[in-house]
Structures are given as C-alpha cells and as structure tokens.
Structure 1
Amino acid sequence: MEHINKMHYITHSLADYPIVQQVEDVCKGGCMWVQLRMKQASTDERLATALEIYPRLKRYGAKLIVNDDVYVAKVVDADGVHIGAEDMHPADARHILGPGKIIGCTANTLEDVLRLSRYDIDYIGVGPFRFTSTKEKLSPVLGLMGIHRIVAAARAQGVHVPLIAIGGIMSGDIHKLKETGIYGVAVSGAIHNAADKVAACQAIAALLATDHQLLTTDHALSKK
C-alpha cells in the first residue's frame, strides 16, 4: 500500500482557477497525488491538460491519475487511472495499461467493495461521504457511519485494498474519518474553495500524517 498516498486531490474545472494552477498549489502544499477529473471535456482537451500538468507533477515527485479516460492515461504515460462505476471494466483497464500502473475504482456499498477487490486494482474510493456539487449522478450519501460500516465489514471479510473516503470531505471531517479505519481521503472543494489553497492543502496533509485510530464498534463511533 506504500505506493497509494493518503491524500488525493481531485481537480475541478473552474473558470477562475485553472487546473494548472490547482496542480501547482496542491503540490506546493504537500499533495503528492492528483486525479485529473474533467468530466465535461473532450478527449483532446483532457489530453492537452494532462500533457501540460504531467511535467509539473513530476517536478514535485507527485503522481498523475486520470479520471475515467484510460486512453489518455496510456498516451500520457500517467501513473494510473480512476474508474467510475459506469466506466471501463477494471480488467480491461489493466490489460490496456499493464501491470505497473495504478488502477482505482469507485464503490458505494459493501457489495461494490467486495466485488471490486477481486480484481487486480490498487485502491477503492468509497463514498460519497456527503453531498457534493462537484460530481454528477451522485450515489446515495454514506455519511460517517456508512463509511465506518463498509470499512469494518470489508476488513472483517479479508479485504486489504486501501479504501479512500471521497465526496464533500472538508478538513474538519478528517479526524473522525480516520477513526473509521479508512486508509486516506480524496478532497477537492476543501482546497479549491479555501482562501489560501496552499495552506489548506498543508493542513490536510498534516492531519493525515498521524496514525489511524480504528474504532471497532458503531457505538464508539456514534459517541463522537
């Protein structure tokens, strides 16, 4: 699991905050993992942006994960791809990208996690934690208890794939999320909505740097 970072930044297409600047800011703030997400863009637009940010990320030693578009990830030689529930099958993505690349998938239920964990993938994004306007076709919101139950049940059934909480996560949520046993978090608005993007990123990275404290009962978690 060492190659999976605990903090994932997901880009968002904003008129007043270009993705190139987002990448620069989060890398300055200590984020070593950027998922390029451009849902409404064409393949050519996505490819052009990926080619533009890739050398910037490499200067910081950060990873580039391309959301959904396996072919762009292949052309750019990105570090990997993140596949949504309605996107390419993970086995097909592995065949295209090869054994050395990172493949992440999205899950909303324990059944999703158990099914996906059977494939040759590297992490699973579990969410959404809460409502988020950055994602269309939002799956049912899980909340803290929902994520805790999925993580606990998955671990009890022998799932060792890193689970990343995703969906509307803010810095104030991270302490409680860590107590669910989640491996890491994916953030977007928590950084790009902050007045000081670099400082916001640094704060989240610092929160994730401490050890997890896994709670084993719903009762203990509900007292928080």
Structure 2
Amino acid sequence: MQISNLHYITTSPEQAERACLGGVRWVQLRVKNTPYLEWKQLALDTQAICRRHGATFILNDNPQLALEIGADGVHLGKEDMPPTEARTLLGPEFIIGGTANTFVDIEGLVAAGVDYIGLGPFRFTTTKEKLSPILGLAGYETLLAQHRAAGFPTPVIGIGGITLADVAPLLAAGLHGVAVSGGITAAADPSVAARQFINSLAAPVSAL
C-alpha cells in the first residue's frame, strides 16, 4: 500500500477540489460536531471529487460512516475507536491511520497494525480543539530516531501548522511526509500552494 507524502486535510468538498486541481492525491475530510446526515453528504461529495481526480479519500473519526460509503480509509484520533476494533469492522483492505504524540503512542499504533501514523503537532494549530504537547523539530528528531531504532516500518506523517519552509527539515528528520490544512486552504491560490508542497516533498533530502 502506497502512503502519499502529502496529506491534505479539509472540511469541505470545494476545498478538496482546489487542492486536487493542484495535484493533491490524498484527502482527509475532518469535520466535528456535525449531524450525521450532513456529515455523510459532505463525505460523499468529497469522495466523489477524490474519485474524479484519482485521489485517496480518508474520513476522519468515523469508521462506521467510512464503511457505509466505501471510503478508502479512516484516520483515528486518540479518543476515537481503537485501531484494532476499526480493523475488525473495516477489514484488511481499508487504510487505517492513527494519531500519535509520544513514542508510547507510536508503539501502540504499530502493534495495532495501522497503515500510517500522524505524529504531531509540529507547532500550535487552530484546526484541532484538544491539542497535545507541541513537538517541534527536536521532538520529531527524537521520536523518529526511536522509531528507526525499533525497526518500525510504519510511515510517519508530520502534522500541525506545517508550512512550506518546514518541509525540508522535517523530511531530513526522517518523516515520510506531511499533512497540511491551512498551508493550502488559506493560500491565495490553493492549487498553486498544493503544487509547491508537492514539489518541495519531491526534492532531494539532505541529511541533518
């Protein structure tokens, strides 16, 4: 299973469309405190855009809805359904990602068999209500060194207020890729911003 090195996190199909036009091929829909039918419609509309662009569609928090609509996968936060339960519900083909903030979190997610780990936050971000302790670059370097030393193969994606200038040092620290929301959504031209992230992630990485 190929895990993209750019995960775009969005709250709307319109945003997903602009990002996909810029080349994004991995979209996670993250909505909170939304009535079920509205959530389902947003998910279906965003999924339709992803399918039109050949992008992977990940639904945040809601394995049952992901199964119902046939999403490609689900991303689970620390307070969501445990990954092992989600795997039982969704089966072996579904992509399951999990959120981590510590090495203990990473160990648990690897043991649970997730397909990728979202590690963060890198810095303060307003897109998350209950923010775990900020990691910063030094935090990533420490945790990714532990990840490597343990021989874990699970790809790790950085998340939390990541900008274009952060990509090179984060990749050099050992991340597989980054998850971006505001860096694309809030840009003057989201499609152009998406292409800039894609190009930066494709650049050769210099070791620290």
Report 1:40-59 matches (<5 A): 40-59=33-52
1:129 aligned onto 2:122: yes
Name the structure 2 match of 1:149. Answer: 142
Name the structure 2 match of 1:3. Answer: 2
**Paired amino acid for 1:35:** Q
CA distance in structure 2 between the partners assigned to 1:128 and 1:146 by the alignment: 10
Report 1:169-208 matches (<5 A): 169-208=162-201
CA distance in structure 1 between the partners assigned to 2:65 and 2:204 by the alignment: 35
Listed one character per residue, the Cα deviations across residues 13-53 of structure 1 (whole Å, up to 9, x for unaligned) are xxxxxx12101111011110000100121222111111112
1:31 aligned onto 2:24: yes
* C-alpha contact 1:7 1:186 (8 A) present in aligned 2: yes
SS in 2 for 1:35: strand
Name the structure 2 match of 1:102. Answer: 95
User: In the alignment, which of 60, 71, 78 is matched to residue 67 of structure 1?
Assistant: 60
SS in 1 for 2:173: coil
SS in 2 for 1:118: helix
- Bigger Cα displacement from structure 2, 53-62 vs 97-106: 53-62
Please list every run of 5 or more consecutive structure 2 residues that lacks an aligned counterpart in the other structure: none
SS in 1 for 2:114: coil
* C-alpha contact 1:123 1:162 (8 A) present in aligned 2: yes
* C-alpha contact 2:59 2:66 (8 A) present in aligned 1: yes
**Paired amino acid for 2:84:** A
Name the structure 2 match of 1:16. Answer: none
* C-alpha contact 1:181 1:213 (8 A) present in aligned 2: no
CA distance in structure 1 between the partners assigned to 2:75 and 2:44 by the alignment: 17
**Paired amino acid for 1:181:** G
> How much is the aligned-residue C-alpha RMSD, in angstroms?
1.0
Listed one character per residue, the Cα deviations across residues 80-125 of structure 1 (whole Å, up to 9, x for unaligned) are 0000001101011001111101000000001110121111210000
* C-alpha contact 2:29 2:46 (8 A) present in aligned 1: no
Q: TM-score, normalised by structure 2?
A: 0.97
CA distance in structure 2 between the partners assigned to 1:3 and 1:43 by the alignment: 30
Listed one character per residue, the Cα deviations across residues 161-206 of structure 1 (whole Å, up to 9, x for unaligned) are 0000000101111111111010000000001111011100000011
Name the structure 2 match of 1:111. Answer: 104
Name the structure 2 match of 1:221. Answer: none
Please list every run of 5 or more consecutive structure 1 residues that lacks an aligned counterpart in the other structure: 13-18, 216-224
Name the structure 2 match of 1:15. Answer: none
1:158 aligned onto 2:190: no
| Count of equivalent residues | 208
CA distance in structure 2 between the partners assigned to 1:213 and 1:181 by the alignment: 10
Question: Which runs of structure 1 show a deviation greater than 2 angstroms over 4 or more consecutive aligned residues?
Answer: 210-215
